[in-house]
Structure 1
């Protein structure tokens, strides 16, 4: 007997759209997979569960086009307009080159440099982009092989390109890929030259992508673009290598891991080129592998991601662990911290006190180091910058060195375009230590400066933890944390933000809230930020909370910071301040959770 589900016909409009997409799909594999799903969604199977699953999958794959925004494209691989695939990439490339032509004029020949990582189909998407740009009369420059994102960002300015495309999904799961766009050359000529796109460029490119009627209508060629040589890689390495300070200590044992990404070779060349020879890479994670087999998520911030590196560091007596994410634009660091040591640790590395430094800690270390470098060069005109959700310690460091400080919206598309930038960072492990080399976060140049700093203080009998203690004594102990609420219903995100706006906490850990700033309605002024969905709360004791929806996940994120002065004459005043700050931060976390409706 037929069930009710079996008698419900498959949506004919959706079926027609799927067939039209299959007919226009340049990739036989994704076309075949869609055809199989279409068969399952129809009447080709008696398995009701499979039929329903196929219909749901097709409905999701055809629920509009993958959205192009300031982060470009990012999504799961697969057939259909709401996935990353050759058809979507070809349409995107066509929209981008049309935008460049409209901006530069009909007689101009836009120059586009194209890079890619080692994820599934990255090289194919890069070649498709080159084929579209070339057929449209543009000059396509394809990177010689899979390389880190910072090399592409460097190449945009080094080669005077009007645009750059990087095919990568950074630290997303293995099933994802993405497409980042930079503008420069003749298109952007101010401080944002060579930086990722911001409004209104994203909307203008998206409009031209939407106007592409079909993949078949997009001209493509089989050859004619330029494949760059290794000289572009050598130029990047030389520029980063110039950041090394000759004659400074190099006695440092370093463990590195690229987390199966494309940064392993170049981070080794950067460090070795600067004189660091005691380098050991985690062997299980050394080679690029799009499956990322040893980690649940290839993100250094994720629990367990750097466990192999910590174990190797503990076993070899290393001084420093450096971990890059798969496209090497982020840099994580781990050190041995005596305060973190425990006889009850779950593994020997953590029992010995090995811990990953928070992004705000690394940001403070590098920011202070860059400020000292500027002072040594007799420069006082540089600007230090960080995002609104990062620690305020960098502002105090800047003031201490007589430098300007700027706060920006989240993302290096904003940080890297600060006029006069000398150093910028955000707490999610992104650091721009040399804006004249790369106007984006760069995990390789950051690794070099961090190793150089660690070696210098080791020669003094100290560690990076001691440098952090010095900063805490001088500026107060800044402790940061994050609270996230994940939602299955996206509408609940807006409702949650509305609830916090209408009834924000009146106290944070017992301290009265003295300022509630709606970031969607910023106060006018020369340093005013563009409007963004968020709320910033400040308490009387300096505690700060920023609440905002995530730009990439169905979450509301809360960024918490407390500041505790380091006082007292005990044996460990910084440790005492840290314990006080931790207790206060936990109380703030409870107050914010209550405001979000997350009690219990």
Structure 2
């Protein structure tokens, strides 16, 4: 059975592997695991949500019908909803878990299933392995998924439709100062990228008194052919809109709104490294909060410099928000996030949240006199200039499998590691997730295969754009990627 859970759930091409039949199989395996983990809880409850992708609403109904047939009460979202909003509902409803139908930022041809735990974050890798094992066991035993008719399940009270927006909005108001945004008289352009964040971020900003224009907020299950990922090369409409008027901030969320991207008033892309660094600095200086800083291996050294300046502990994890979630649940974490734009803060669920971070960034800009450029300049003065880029290479399959495993790549890159890269001395080689070469001036190069796509990623950060490009070129000489480059950002 070719169903495997990656960094954040199972994703596959619609009508190829991602079929109704396979969705039912996965739903049955998840039901089995939840029933096994909570044998003394009755009735069991799970929350199910979906994004705007092709057939996501129908897949979600199918999952709900399988869960209901297994005696699990299901709270099913009435409409497409951001992943973090569903995650918040899991905690609020005291459910034993949840399911989100989404492929997040992946291309339109993909869909996926995110398996959520009772604490609202992604299920642990161990729990995902249990689902995979149960899939295999059910297949070997010839066990077919149980399923109830949707209308019958509703009539029996096993499936209830609900609107998670009001409760989430109330929670958001405890984390973001709406009055500060109101006083700032912000003018914001929001790009929903046709994803489930449509109406959420824009409407909440309007609730806080901002003037808002929302782009690409209509329903378009194919995302108009773009990848719904809030990175520079997919945000040209946002850049154009910002340059066309007196706007103070641009914000963008991905397909399921658990990631954030931003743009300055001149249309310059502001990556999640900067967003997370600005957020940490704001929480420390303006809110006088403290706590651990958690970041993934591919995230900026600006955070390390800020943590050192303020005497905070910092932890670096493998890519995947589940690793950040573990630390958020067991330690006093002030902020946790990853380079892809999934970020969360103290007081929130252990889940990346593009809506929350968009609102917090609006608050920061408003508190700084609605002058985003000055806010960015202040950050550079404190931590120095940092530049970042990532190149993605499609991996050509060999006999239907990737050309090498992650462990094989790590072994190859660490057998005789380079002593210099782009003329700089390599001070440390880390293998927490892929291979990361640290240089003496806090620059770095990371090479790792994606956990969700057949892609090899190369990341670099340095104190000049020229040095970043030099590091990425050096990475290509270390492991010539078998495939075509998608580009850099």
Q: Using structure 1 for the length normalisation, give the TM-score.
A: 0.73
CA–CA distance in 1 between the matches of 2:212 and 2:12? 35
Q: Report the aligned-residue RMSD.
A: 2.4
Q: Is the 8 A contact 1:321 1:335 kept in 2?
A: yes
CA–CA distance in 2 between the matches of 1:548 and 1:402? 30
Name the residue aligned to 1:452: 363
Q: Is the 8 A contact 2:25 2:145 kept in 1?
A: yes
Name the residue aligned to 1:589: 472
Name the residue aligned to 2:460: 560
Name the residue aligned to 1:68: 5
CA–CA distance in 2 between the matches of 1:106 and 1:598? 51
Partner of 2:223: helix, strand, or coil? coil
CA–CA distance in 1 between the matches of 2:237 and 2:429? 43
Partner of 1:255: helix, strand, or coil? strand
Larger RCO, structure (CA 8 Å, separation 6 or more): 2
Q: Is the 8 A contact 2:251 2:260 kept in 1?
A: yes
Partner of 1:491: helix, strand, or coil? coil
CA–CA distance in 2 between the matches of 1:481 and 1:182? 31
Matches within 5 A, 1:165-564: 165-184=99-118, 193-213=119-139, 217-222=144-149, 223=153, 224=156, 225-230=158-163, 232-245=164-177, 247-248=179-180, 249-276=183-210, 278-282=211-215, 285-293=216-224, 295-301=225-231, 303=233, 305-336=234-265, 353-375=266-288, 379-380=289-290, 382-418=291-327, 419-433=331-345, 435-459=346-370, 463-489=371-397, 490-492=402-404, 496-519=409-432, 532=433, 534-563=434-463
Selected match of 1:103 from 26, 32, 37:
37
CA–CA distance in 2 between the matches of 1:539 and 1:69? 30
Q: Is the 8 A contact 1:416 1:432 kept in 2?
A: no
Q: 1:487 to 1:246 in 2, by over 3 A?
A: closer
Q: Using structure 2 for the length normalisation, give the TM-score.
A: 0.89
Partner of 2:334: helix, strand, or coil? strand
Q: Is the 8 A contact 1:255 1:281 kept in 2?
A: yes
> 1:449 offset after TM fit, Å?
0.8
Q: Is the 8 A contact 2:429 2:437 kept in 1?
A: yes
> 1:598 offset after TM fit, Å?
6.7
> 1:516 offset after TM fit, Å?
2.1
Q: Is the 8 A contact 2:49 2:77 kept in 1?
A: yes
Q: Is the 8 A contact 1:70 1:197 kept in 2?
A: no
> 1:492 offset after TM fit, Å?
4.6
> 1:497 offset after TM fit, Å?
4.2
CA–CA distance in 1 between the matches of 2:445 and 2:240? 35
> 1:130 offset after TM fit, Å?
1.5
CA–CA distance in 2 between the matches of 1:107 and 1:207? 23
> 1:166 offset after TM fit, Å?
0.3
CA–CA distance in 1 between the matches of 2:366 and 2:388? 26
> 1:86 offset after TM fit, Å?
1.3
Where structure 2 has 5 or more consecutive residues not aligned to the other structure, the ranges are none
Q: Deviation digits for residues 23-59 of structure 1, max 9, x if unmatched? A: xxxxxxxxxxxxxxxxxxxxxxxxxxxxxxxxxxxxx
> 1:590 offset after TM fit, Å?
2.9
CA–CA distance in 2 between the matches of 1:299 and 1:480? 17
Q: Is the 8 A contact 1:142 1:228 kept in 2?
A: yes
CA–CA distance in 2 between the matches of 1:121 and 1:247? 39
